[in-house]
């Protein structure tokens, strides 16, 4: 087991879940306040998407990222800030012409997908090492684009968190490491239970862990009802973990979570019940090989 388990909270995500649970934060103020509440509850890091305050839907607006990050930093938080680069890789082929837009296309260049990272210089940015079916649509992240994004992260001094949804994604990540595009200190995030990736089972997580580079820094999570079982599994296997309203809207069967902080508190309880302890933001920086916090 890890000496200290890092809990990352994924605050809001990009799925249209705000209509399903009113606790999902939408505005920069709500997202930032949720982050600060999670820090008090035991999170060492927060994973951030932004949403259009008017519609509640996913957004790539750089001004929303800047306001959200500034609010967290201006509050003097020590949280490790992790910004997504996932938006910009979504495709639903047209029914008549597969390359025709269906209204569900959100394909952007690597430079556009990294612009808010360049503007805000977070500690970490995610890289989705995956081209796969993602529910009914496709998530597109081809190696050529990943090389560009990885090189940009390196030039900016931002540590990549490699989102891997199935075993082949780990193989690709290791190839990008071999080529020199990804540093050996990259963090792997094992994303389990997403249709149609690796299932959120003990066997699935253990097999994915077995494919990681030696001494890899890694974390894992399961979505929906698998969230807390995978917290326990990740801790037991020596990894870190993630919870949050991006991944799961419920605190118990049929009971909506009241906040991200409530989910973090439950994860803390699971880890401590197994004899573990939770990393502070400063300990998170050590665990993830990051520099000290100079932004606050």
- Position 29 in a domain: yes
Ordered per-residue pLDDT tens for the chain, 296 residues: 568 999 999 999 998 888 999 999 999 999 999 999 999 999 999 999 999 999 999 999 999 999 999 999 999 999 999 999 999 998 888 777 766 655 556 889 999 999 999 999 999 999 999 899 988 889 999 999 999 999 999 999 999 999 999 999 999 999 999 999 999 889 999 999 999 999 999 999 999 999 999 989 999 999 999 999 999 999 999 999 999 999 999 999 999 999 999 999 999 999 999 999 999 999 999 999 997 655 54
Is 160 within 8 Å of 125 (Cβ atoms)?
Answer: yes
- Position 276 in a domain: yes
What CA–CA distance (Å, rounded) separates 214 from 18? 39
Is 243 within 8 Å of 41 (Cβ atoms)?
Answer: no
Q: What is the DSSP string of 107-155?
A: E--HHHHHHHHHHH--SEEEEE---EEETTEEE---HHHHHHHHHHHHH
The model's pTM is 0.95
- Position 59 in a domain: yes
CA distances to 7, 230, 273, 278, 284 from 287, rounded to whole Å, are 11, 20, 21, 11, 5
- Position 293 in a domain: no
- Position 51 in a domain: yes
Structural domains of the chain, count: 1
CATH of the domain at 238: 3.20.20.70
In which domain, by residue range, is 83 found? 7-287
Q: According to the model, what pLDDT value does residue 101 have?
A: 53
Q: According to the model, what pLDDT value does residue 288 have?
A: 96
Q: According to the model, what pLDDT value does residue 136 have?
A: 83
What CA–CA distance (Å, rounded) separates 151 from 154? 5
Q: Nearest-CA neighbor of 36 among 19, 11, 59?
A: 11
Q: According to the model, what pLDDT value does residue 296 have?
A: 45
- Position 282 in a domain: yes
- Position 292 in a domain: no
Q: According to the model, what pLDDT value does residue 2 have?
A: 61
- Position 242 in a domain: yes
Q: According to the model, what pLDDT value does residue 222 have?
A: 98
């Amino acid at each position: 087991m890890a000496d200290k388990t890092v809990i990352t909270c994924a605050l809001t995500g990009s799925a249209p879940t705000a209509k399903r649970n009113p606790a999902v934060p939408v505005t920069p103020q709500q997202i930032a306040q949720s982050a600060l509440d999670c820090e008090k509850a035991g999170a060492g890091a927060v994973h951030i998407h932004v949403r259009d305050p008017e519609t509640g839907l996913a957004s790539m607006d750089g001004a929303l990222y800047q306001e959200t990050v500034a609010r967290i930093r201006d509050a003097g938080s020590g949280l490790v800030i992790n910004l997504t680069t996932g938006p910009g890789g979504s495709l639903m082929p047209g029914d008549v012409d597969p390359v025709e837009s269906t209204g569900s296309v959100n394909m952007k260049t690597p430079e556009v997908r990294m612009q808010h990272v360049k503007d805000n210089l977070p500690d970490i940015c995610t890289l989705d090492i995956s081209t796969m079916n993602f529910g009914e649509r496709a998530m597109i992240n081809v190696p050529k684009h990943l090389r560009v994004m990885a090189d940009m992260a390196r030039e900016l001094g931002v540590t990549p968190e490699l989102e891997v949804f199935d075993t082949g994604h780990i193989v690709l990540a290791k190839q990008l490491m071999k080529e020199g595009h990804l540093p050996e200190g990259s963090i792997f995030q094992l994303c389990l239970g997403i249709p149609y990736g690796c299932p959120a089972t003990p066997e699935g997580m253990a097999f994915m862990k077995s494919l990681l580079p030696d001494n890899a820094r890694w974390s894992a999570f399961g979505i929906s009802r698998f969230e807390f079982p995978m917290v326990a599994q990740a801790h037991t296997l020596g990894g870190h973990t993630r919870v949050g309203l991006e991944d799961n809207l419920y605190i118990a069967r049929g009971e909506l979570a009241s906040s991200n902080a409530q989910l973090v508190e439950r994860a803390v309880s699971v880890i401590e019940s197994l004899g573990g302890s939770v990393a502070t933001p400063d300990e998170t920086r050590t665990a993830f090989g990051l520099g000290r916090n100079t932004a606050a």
